[in-house]
Amino acid sequence: MLPEVLISEVGPRDGLQSVKATMPTAAKLRWIAALHGSGLREIEVASFVPARLLPQMADAAEVVQYALTLPGWTVMALVPNRKGAEAALRAGAHKLTLPVSASEAHSLANVRKTPLDMVEEVRAILALRDELAPTAKIEAGVSTAFGCTLQGVVPEDDVVRLAAALAAAGVDDVGLSDTTGMANPAQVRRLFQRVRAEIGDKTGAAHMHNTRGLGLANCLAAYDVGVRTFDSSLGGLGGCPYAPGASGNVVTEDLVFMFEAMGVRTGVDLQKLMAARAPLAEGLPGEPLYGMTPDAGLPKGFAQEVAHA
């Protein structure tokens, strides 16, 4: 039986770029192999950004090339601009994800461009894709879609308009990210429905954070309105800088447990997934890992029928 939801593991990118320590390349590759072995079928493995800004990602091309040797999954890379996109496409990434902030204040502070100016950058990246690697897919991830620590409220109309502009520019899909952990389930349901009404099947992943404990509730709300791709991070790696001690990304183990317990197939073997925490812990000694399911263990009588795609 085929999986019904796609769990997109973002730990090697979102997680590793948020922690201070740099995981040695060999340890990253062992961890990525363990993630692949658990049945995950999509992974974000690196960011293509200058090494002086993010030394954790200096080996991005090597990590992408290794991940490409593992069969049957989509290897993604985050790129902030054209230069990063070129490097990621040349490394052979199957899919690029481009963060575009819906918050004007956040966008200006980070990239000195308005959200709609960023759509121009996205167009340029799409042209580059057509030239260098026409089969590669491009996803835009609308960050701060549910609120912004600089601006506060991000009007839903701004998010919907930006999603429509990105879809019109030609991206393959548009995801919504709760970058700052401010989303609630009612808002998630409403905004994904509005975006879907505007861009239909180009509606992409839910990238939720657990900063205020609502990560899984928000994923379930997104599922209820038709979202089928969910970003999460093994061990919740990627602490939120705005709430020290709090987990940032949704914990993959808990997300997979939730869906499997509901009878929604993920294709991921929970035992193998939890075993993938070992190479992560070895590569990042002392880094806190989160997750209620790994702490509690699987409940007595829990039987998982793992689908193989």
Measuring CA to CA, how many Å separate 63 from each of 38, 66, 84, 287? 18, 5, 15, 21
- Choice between 56 and 265, CB closer to Zn ion: 56
- Choice between 1 and 241, CB closer to Zn ion: 241
- Choice between 133 and 177, CB closer to Zn ion: 177
Stretch that binds Zn ion, among 10-18, 26-34, 187-195, 282-290 (CB under 5 A): 10-18
Q: Is 44 in the site for Zn ion (CB under 5 A)?
A: no
In the complex, the smallest distance separating the C-beta of residue 89 from Zn ion, rounded to whole angstroms, is: 23
Q: Give the type of residue at 34.
A: A
In the complex, the smallest distance separating the C-beta of residue 27 from Zn ion, rounded to whole angstroms, is: 21
Stretch that binds Zn ion, among 13-21, 33-41, 264-272, 277-285 (CB under 5 A): 13-21
In the complex, the smallest distance separating the C-beta of residue 107 from Zn ion, rounded to whole angstroms, is: 17
In the complex, the smallest distance separating the C-beta of residue 209 from Zn ion, rounded to whole angstroms, is: 6
- Choice between 133 and 230, CB closer to Zn ion: 230
- Judged by CB under 5 A, the residue of 38, 101, 210, 249 near Zn ion is 249
Q: Are 59 and 28 in contact (CB under 8 A)?
A: yes
In the complex, the smallest distance separating the C-beta of residue 208 from Zn ion, rounded to whole angstroms, is: 8
- Choice between 107 and 249, CB closer to Zn ion: 249
Distance from C-alpha of 262 to C-alpha of 159, rounded to nearest angstrom: 31
167 to 206: interface string for Zn ion, x by CB under 5 A: ----------------------------------------
Stretch that binds Zn ion, among 14-22, 96-104, 148-156, 215-223 (CB under 5 A): 14-22
Q: Is 86 in the site for Zn ion (CB under 5 A)?
A: no
In the complex, the smallest distance separating the C-beta of residue 303 from Zn ion, rounded to whole angstroms, is: 31
Tokens of 280: 């992560």
Q: How many residues bind Zn ion (CB under 5 A)?
A: 2
Stretch that binds Zn ion, among 7-15, 70-78, 163-171, 289-297 (CB under 5 A): 7-15
Stretch that binds Zn ion, among 8-16, 64-72, 113-121, 257-265 (CB under 5 A): 8-16
- Choice between 14 and 254, CB closer to Zn ion: 14
Q: Is 14 in the site for Zn ion (CB under 5 A)?
A: yes
What amino acid positions are annotated as catalytic residues?
A: 240
- 3-state secondary structure labels for all residues of the chain: CCCCCEEEECHHHHHHHHCCCCCCHHHHHHHHHHHHHCCCCEEEEEECCCCCCCHHHCCHHHHHHHHCCCCCCEEEEECCCHHHHHHHHHHCCCEEEEEEECCHHHHHHHHCCCHHHHHHHHHHHHHHHHHHCCCCEEEEEEECCCCECCCECCCHHHHHHHHHHHHHHCCCEEEEECCCCCCCHHHHHHHHHHHHHHHHHHEEEEECECCCCCHHHHHHHHHHCCCCEEEEEHHHCCCCCCCCCCCCECEHHHHHHHHHHHCCCCCCCHHHHHHCHHHHHHHCCCCCCCCHHHHHCCCCCCCCCCCCC
Residues engaged in binding Zn ion (CB under 5 A): 14, 249
